[in-house]
Amino acid sequence: MGRGAGPWAGLPPARLVLVLSILAALLAAVAAASAAPAAPKGTWESIVLLYHSDVGGKVEPCG
Amino acid sequence: MLLVDAGGLFGPRNKLERDQTRFVCEVTGGFGYDAIGLGQADLNYGIGFLREMIEKNRLPFTNANVRDKATGQLLLPPWLVVQKGNVKFGIVSVLDPAEPFITMTAQDEAYQVDDPVATLRTVIPELRKQAQTIVLLSHLDLPRTESLLKEVAGVDIAVVGHTHQALPGERVVGKTVMLAAGFEGRTIGRLNGEFDRDGVMQAFTLKLVELDEKIADDAVTQEKVTQFKQKLEEARQSLRGRHQQVKGSASEQFLTQYECRKCHADIYAKLEGSRHNAALATLARKGMAQEPDCLACHTTGYEFKGGYDDKPPANRLANVQCEACHGYGSLHRRDGRWKAEARSTCVTCHDQKNSPKFDFATYWAKIRH
């Protein structure tokens, strides 16, 4: 069965898997941007949730 | 910022992958995860290895429904409470009891998995007493998570693992926001939440961020990766022999495409410029032409007796040649037999991991012969 129209459609190619150095840079940037002090009680507070899964232990794929 | 992983951080079951997993854990340990759910793969190297990684790298694994079968004790803390700003997040994780554990330590360890619905119905009320927002790390894939959420109340956010599907937009089941960022770290999901004074999320936006060249590398991490790859290369060299030439028959021979060409010049001419015929160069460009797991699909017969080797004469089997799909040429030369149903061979390499866009009709059109 082909996968072109399946659940994998639209995912980026396996150019790199868990690009550790890029993830590190991204996390540092988001953390810096989110480092504002907690909002005063009574006002809404912005919190960023970053999530992923199934990293699979690979440093790089075959290409 | 709240940073979570919904499980499946570890690699497949072999020693080389375990080395890579060890490195990934060392690096990601420095990222400051707030919680990591347990997936079946995270026990691939046994509970001892998992605990070693947790301890050495401060990895906050959590799971509420996997027990040591011998003692009946949970393997991990059943939940974590994390405060961000004024909001206390209760984070709980479950995995799918229908999925088996196949570990490198299977003879020494056995696990039992409790029903996730019953588990969460017990855990969530307790967790509610300590936290304002409940985050479920669900290693049950999307359909099973959706079913679970219809039976379990009280989950505010569900991050789904054990799925190859990323959810680019909003999906809400009951009062729960479901999130998924695909697999292998190709993307990371970002939810920007607005929480009221009671710690309840009142609004949010979602974005899937591709980890690509648009984001600059972190130099320190990049240096660690470079150094690790050098060590990995040495390990690959020592392991190559174990992967190589273990299948097939010593009495048969791969003849190479140059023999095939003598009778099938028209087909050879058609395939000569194909990506199949440049498959090894693809690996070489990435410096991975010695990677055993990759060579099986980027050469002809690497795992078979008489197959590719980087030394002459077997290096003439570089790339994906005729016999990669049709089988030993010696069989064909002797009695005309060849693998007529070569189509079934495609998916052994064009699998979801390495060829997620594979579609037989589209790809076959490129090499039709």
Distance from CA of B334 to the nearest CA of A (A): 33
Stretch B328-357: mean pLDDT: 79
If one counts the domains in chain B, the total is 2
**Cα angle for residues B121, B55, B138 (degrees, 5° grid):** 30
Cβ B183–A53 below 8 Å, yes or no?
Answer: yes
- Identify whether residues B121 and B164 lie together within a single domain: yes
**Cβ separation A45–B195 shorter than 8 A:** yes
Asked if residue A18 lies in contact with residue B164, where contact means CB atoms within 8 angstroms, the answer is no
- Please give the full DSSP string across B318-349, using - where no structure is assigned: BSS-HHHHH--HHHHHHHS---TTTHHHHHHH
Look at residue B249 in the predicted model and tell me its pLDDT.
Answer: 87
Q: Is there a contact between B354 and A28 if contact means CB atoms under 8 Å apart?
A: no
Do B80 and B189 lie in one domain? The reply is: yes
Position B178 scores a pLDDT of 97
Kindly state whether residue B113 falls inside one of the protein's structural domains. yes
Structure-token pair, residue B45 = 């190297």
Q: Is residue B226 part of a domain?
A: no
- pTM, full prediction: 0.71
Do B180 and B139 reside in the same domain of the chain?
yes
A62 and B87 within 8 Å at the Cβ level: the answer is no
Q: Considering only residues 248 to 277 of chain B, which have any Cβ-Cβ distance to chain A shorter than 8 Å?
A: none
Q: How confident is the model over B289-293, as a mean pLDDT?
A: 75
Residues sharing a CB contact under 8 Å with residue B30, sequence separation 6 or more, in sequence order: A24, B57
Percent of chain B with pLDDT over 70: 94
Q: Is residue B225 part of a domain?
A: no
Single residue among B210, B230, B258 that ends a domain in this structure: B210
Question: Is pLDDT above 80 for B76?
Answer: yes
Q: Are residues B172 and B79 part of one domain?
A: yes
One domain, residues B198 and B256: no
- Domain match, B22 and B139 both: yes
Whether residues B247 and B186 fall in one domain: no
**pLDDT at residue A8 in the model:** 35
Residue with the larger pLDDT of the pair B137 and B285: B137
- Say which residue, B214 or B133, is predicted with more confidence: B133
Under the banding of pLDDT at 50, 70 and 90, the label for residue A43 is: confident
What interface predicted TM-score (ipTM) does this complex get?
0.70
Ranking B80-94, B220-234, B300-314, B348-362 by mean pLDDT, the lowest is B348-362
What's the pLDDT score for residue B330?
92
pLDDT at B24: 92
User: What is the nearest CA distance from A25 to chain B, expressed in angstroms?
Assistant: 5
Contact B6 A51 (CB under 8 A): yes
Task: Look at B216 and A25 and tell me if their CB atoms are within 8 Å.
Answer: yes
Does B117 reside within a domain? Answer: yes
Chain B residues in contact with A32 by the CB 8 A cut-off are none
pLDDT of residue A25: 83
pLDDT, tens digit (0-9, with 9 covering 90-100), for B239-252:
665 566 778 888 99
Question: pLDDT per residue over A26-41, tens digit each?
Answer: 888 888 887 766 667 6
CB nearest to A18's CB, from B162, B184, B360: B184
- Domain boundary (B192, B210, B228) is at B210
Neighboring chain A residues of B39 at a CB cutoff of 8 Å = 53-54
pLDDT at residue B44 greater than cutoff 50? yes
Helix B46-57 and helix B15-29: axis angle, to 10°?
Answer: 30
Q: Indicate whether B217 belongs to any domain.
A: no
Within 8 A of A59 by CB-CB distance, chain B residues are 20, 23-24, 225, 228-229, 232
Same domain, B76 and B122: yes
* Same domain? B14 vs B124: yes
pLDDT confidence bin for B357, thresholds 50/70/90: confident
pLDDT on residue A9: 38
Residue of A5 and B79 predicted with greater confidence: B79
Examine the pLDDT at B155 and tell me if it is beyond 90.
Answer: yes
Final residue of a structural domain among B170, B190, B210: B210
Q: Report if residue B318 sits inside a domain.
A: yes
- Are B78 and B174 in a shared domain? yes
Residue in B with minimal Cα distance to A9: B357
> Per the CB < 8 Å rule, is B352 touching A2?
no
Residue B231 domain flag = no
A16 pLDDT above the threshold of 60: no
Considering the domain boundaries, does residue B232 fall inside one? Answer: no
Most confidently modeled of A39-43, B214-218, B267-271? B267-271
Domain of residue B20, residue span: 4-210
Model confidence band, residue B42 (pLDDT cutoffs 50, 70, 90): very high
Q: Count of CB contacts below 8 A, A vs B?
A: 265
Provide the CATH number for the domain around residue B123.
3.60.21.10
Which residues in chain A are closer than 8 Å to B232, comparing Cβ atoms?
A: 59
pLDDT band at B124 (very low <50, low <70, confident <90, very high): very high
How far does B180 lie from chain A, in Å, by closest CA? 7
For residue B2, is pLDDT > 70?
Answer: yes
Sequence-ordered list of residues with C-beta below 8 angstroms from that of B39, at least 6 positions apart, any chain: A53, A54, B6, B7, B8, B9, B10, B95, B139, B161, B162
Tokens of B129: 């007493």
B192–chain A Cβ distance below 8 A for any pair: yes
Claim to verify: residue B295 and residue B251 sit in the same structural domain: yes
Mean pLDDT across B60-69: 97
Instruction: Return the pLDDT at A38.
Output: 65
Tokens at residue B303, please?
A: 């795992």
**Model confidence at B19, in pLDDT bands (50, 70, 90)?**
confident
Contact B217 A22 (CB under 8 A): yes
Query: Is there a single domain that holds both residue B311 and residue B163?
Result: no
What is the pairing mode between strands B133-139 and B176-179?
A: unpaired
